[in-house]
Chain A
Amino acid sequence: MAPAAPRTGDAVFASVERVNAELFTLTYGAIVRQLLTDLEEVDEVNKQLDQMGYNIGVRLIDEFLAKSNISRCVDFKETAEVIAKVGFKIFLGVTATVTNWDAEGTSCSLVLEENPLVDFVELPDTCQGLYYCNILSGVIRGALEMVSMKTEVTWVRDILHGDDACELRVKLVKQIPEEYPYKDDD
């Protein structure tokens, strides 16, 4: 029998190799800063961060599945919980809370009380439209796409914009069926 899937990422987090959090935060800051210099437009930077996150997400998902021993989720609610409690823990060292479900159970909010990415960051007036952590939304979108879920991920609250927490809205757009496209019968 398969072992029961863990509901927290603590064990995996403890066993994987880690780097100094400050090194991570500063490296990410340097990347964002460089993108701002290269692309000049804040909107372009948002897009680029999202794309970078997506590219990470489509690869990261396999590591997540391999190391966490998570089995298939029965519904999107379970998926959201797993992302918040296991996924964020393994890769960011923090956990998120899942709230604000809509009636259909297809969209919810992931609330991050702490976010190591923004530790030393203050947004200047010229960058007010910047979603500094937009890479995270890309990662989630990319990772879920690889397990047959098309999602839209947007920022609702951001510590850097003066809110008390970071809130990501994850909306399940559609579930791509896993069956092979057998077109013979049509």
Chain B
Amino acid sequence: MAAIYNLFIINKSGGLIFYKDYGSAGRMDTNDSLRLASLWHSLHAISQQLSPTVECFGIELLQADTFDLHCFQSLTGTKFFVVCEPGAQHMESLLKVIYELYTDYVLKNPFYEMEMPIRCELFDIHLSQAVQKDRVVLLGR
């Protein structure tokens, strides 16, 4: 469980719609998580403009001494990103799984309003299952 520090989901306009932290490292309060989310949104957009290669869709992995940040952006503009231990494996597939869970348990919930913060219990349950068994399940994928 120590592999992942936090998980963020931001909508296409850069608003944080979901935040969760795992374990003790890198825990942050609401204000910090909102700030980091909008900062990442802008950074991601700027990276697309700065990239020397055409057809660049933004930063996918940011590596630092104390953490890795993996980001997945869907074609509809929603961004999912995890902050995890340096060198943690299978984060791309984990993000894909989280995207599927989001489509199943968030978007299909008729009472979920698009682009609004996610408060869906089913999503929380399935998400924690996916994160808990990530190394077991994802290794086999």
Residue of A nearest to B101 (CB): A66
A67 CA to B76 CA, complexed, in Å: 14
Which residues of the partner chain A approach B45 to less than 8 Å between Cβ atoms? 180
Q: Count chain B residues whose beta carbon lies closer than 8 angstroms to a beta carbon of A.
A: 16
Bound CA span A62–B74, Å: 8
* Nearest chain B CB to A52 CB, angstrom units: 12
Binds A, one of B16-24, B83-91, B103-111: B103-111
- When A65-B76, A72-B75 are in contact, do A59 and B108 touch as well, CB less than 8 Å? yes
User: Which chain A residues lie closer than 8 Å to B103 at the CB level?
Assistant: 59, 62-63, 66-67
How far is it, in angstroms, between the C-alpha of A61 and the C-alpha of B107 when the chains are bound?
A: 10
Q: Is A65 touching B107 in the complex (CB atoms < 8 A)?
A: no
User: Are B76 and A63 closer than 8 Å at their CB atoms?
Assistant: no
CA distance A179 to B46 in the complex (A): 10
Chain B residue nearest to A143 in the complex (CB): B76
**Given the contacts A58-B114, A59-B114, A180-B45, A65 and B75 also touching, CB distance less than 8 Å:** yes
Which of A's residues lie within 8 Å of B, judged by CB?
58-63, 65-67, 72, 146-147, 178-180
Known A60-B107, A65-B75, A66-B99; 12 more pairs at CB < 8 Å:
A58-B114, A59-B107, A62-B102, A62-B103, A62-B107, A63-B107, A65-B76, A66-B102, A66-B103, A72-B75, A147-B75, A178-B77
